Structure 1
Amino acid sequence: MVSIIIPAYNAAETIINSLKSVFSQTYTDWEIIIIDDGSKDNTVAVLNSFFETLSKSNLAKIKLIKQINYGVSKARNVGLTEASGDWIALLDSDDTWINTKLERQMQMLQENSNIDFLGANRVGEYHESFLNIKFDLLTRISPKNLLYKNFFATSTVVFKKDILNEIGFFDETQGYCEDVNYFIKIANVKECYLLNESLVSTGSGQIHFQETGLSSNLWGMQKGELTNMNYALKERIINYLDYFLIFNFSFIKYFRRVWLVKSKKN
């Protein structure tokens, strides 16, 4: 079974579409764990109204947990502790899956038992090459690769639950790029692959750094990337030359993001 973890904060306008995309899955062996992270809007009321439309069998597959506002990492960690499946899938409350998302990934995982963690593309992406990486249908992603570019949008990933025994949980003290930090830790010791197919729509299909939400704080994102670089250097995932190259590449991306957002505003 796949345990699907959905953190929600002020998600009244989007979370039902996320849930409907789960219920439309052709792969049906799953449970949903929703963690309301102290929403100040009517997220819980919207959820309860949606629950009233479900059959008893479908309602039994959902667990709603309410907590005060601790942040997305704490919410995900609560979901991880409650998960009963052998596999974990992450889904953000403003993202949606195409209906074959889980079926396609579980098929790949069953056919490739060496894979511990499997991400996918989003919003029509298809990768041919990136720096020294040539992409196949399945491509191994290293922790160093993730420092250059996060190939694993959070809502695309599926991974073995027993990874938690070795890696642990999300760092609740890191405010930005905490998902990439977690994925770097996993990729450093486990077999992580990208399925080169677009299976997810994130942030209503827009670019992933917007004028609202966590990703709108471009400098916060940049500091998060620097935190991840420093972690990788400390853990000897990269050396000082790698650090120099990744540092400069990161700031090129940062200035490009700033330009894109300013261009959109204009």
Structure 2
Amino acid sequence: MLSIVVPVYNSSETITSCLQSLVDQDGVSFDMEIIIVNDGSTDESSKLIHDFISKHESVEFTYIEKENGGVSSARNCGVENSKYKWIAFIDSDDVWRTDKLKKQFETINNSKFNIDFLGCARNNETLSIFGNKVLCLHKASVNQLLVRMFPQTSTALVKKAIFDKVGGYDESFTHAEDGDLWVRICNVADFYYMPDSLVTTGGGKCSFGESGLSANLSSMLLGNRRILSKQLKHGNINVGFYSLMLAYYQLKHVRRQVITMKNKLL
């Protein structure tokens, strides 16, 4: 039923709590596997992972070690080695609430709509799109994703067939790789978001201006521009929307720089 992909790179400080949140899921009565992809870690991550696996023999784990190729490469590797209908991702510094899978699969199974992708809120945040708060199950459009780039990776469930159909992660992206994949999925599938906050990401830190890939704001801006260019090239957006979004991304980039500088001064 579900394959959970966990990319790991030098995550010794967080990997144990991340994995614990997976095995602590309530109400999981379906087949589930946890695929851990060690992307060339040089710290104690491998030892901690093996110690954790040895203490949870009833859980189906697959452990893969590979040369460092980046998070997109690690996630693709995990999906390639998965065997179930649904794929979930979680970053090694994030944790799931114990009812995350229960609530998401209840939503999928009880909905009158076909759902190919389902994300949710994180860190008790409320998503607003064009000034409107999302307070119930919401089907997203490509334009909405380009404006907000939601949801965060560790909240997502996606059908493996859909992931494979769009070609998985574009490994040439070093930043904004999730946004690129989500938009491509939204172009061909039923892409939904639920407002329940079921994940804590990065210890609750801000999604930019902190540790991790998102700290590189200039690269994030370039990644978002690449996503726009790809969508324009394939005819999924028009020139007017493309130009508007370029200006919007630049303004958002400046705002993030200001916030980051303020945080450093505090």
How far apart, in 1, do the equivalents of 2:53 and 2:45 lie?
12
Q: Number of residue pairs matched?
A: 262
How far apart, in 1, do the equivalents of 2:131 and 2:263 lie?
31
Whether the 8 Å contact between 1:144 and 1:237 is mirrored in structure 2 is no
Percent same amino acid among aligned pairs?
37
- 2:169 matched to 1:174? no
Compute the displacement of 1:8 (Å). 0.3
Compute the displacement of 1:132 (Å). 6.4
1:198-213 counterparts in 2 under 5 A? 198-213=197-212
The list of structure 1 runs, each at least 4 consecutive aligned residues, that deviate by more than 6 angstroms after superposition, is none
Corresponding residue for residue 122 of structure 2: 122
The one-letter code sitting in structure 1 at the alignment partner of 2:95 is T
The one-letter code sitting in structure 2 at the alignment partner of 1:9 is Y
Whether the 8 Å contact between 2:121 and 2:196 is mirrored in structure 1 is yes
Corresponding residue for residue 47 of structure 1: 49
Note closer, same or farther for the CA distance 1:46–1:134 as it changes in structure 2 (3 Å cut): closer
Whether the 8 Å contact between 2:209 and 2:256 is mirrored in structure 1 is no
1:1-266 counterparts in 2 under 5 A? 1-28=1-28, 29=30, 30-54=32-56, 56-58=57-59, 61-112=60-111, 113-127=113-127, 129-131=128-130, 135-266=134-265
Compute the displacement of 1:89 (Å). 0.4
The one-letter code sitting in structure 2 at the alignment partner of 1:43 is S
Whether the 8 Å contact between 1:125 and 1:197 is mirrored in structure 2 is no
How far apart, in 1, do the equivalents of 2:176 and 2:76 lie?
15
How far apart, in 1, do the equivalents of 2:16 and 2:148 lie?
30
The TM-score with structure 1 as length reference comes to 0.95
How far apart, in 1, do the equivalents of 2:129 and 2:101 lie?
26
How far apart, in 2, do the equivalents of 1:193 and 1:235 lie?
23
Q: Which runs of 5+ in 1 are unaligned?
A: none
* Secondary structure of the corresponding residue to residue 36 of structure 2: strand
How far apart, in 2, do the equivalents of 1:210 and 1:170 lie?
24
The TM-score with structure 2 as length reference comes to 0.95
Q: CA RMSD in A?
A: 1.3
How far apart, in 2, do the equivalents of 1:178 and 1:94 lie?
18
* Secondary structure of the corresponding residue to residue 188 of structure 1: helix
The one-letter code sitting in structure 2 at the alignment partner of 1:17 is S
* Secondary structure of the corresponding residue to residue 39 of structure 1: coil
* Secondary structure of the corresponding residue to residue 33 of structure 2: strand
Q: Which runs of 5+ in 2 are unaligned?
A: none
* Secondary structure of the corresponding residue to residue 158 of structure 2: strand
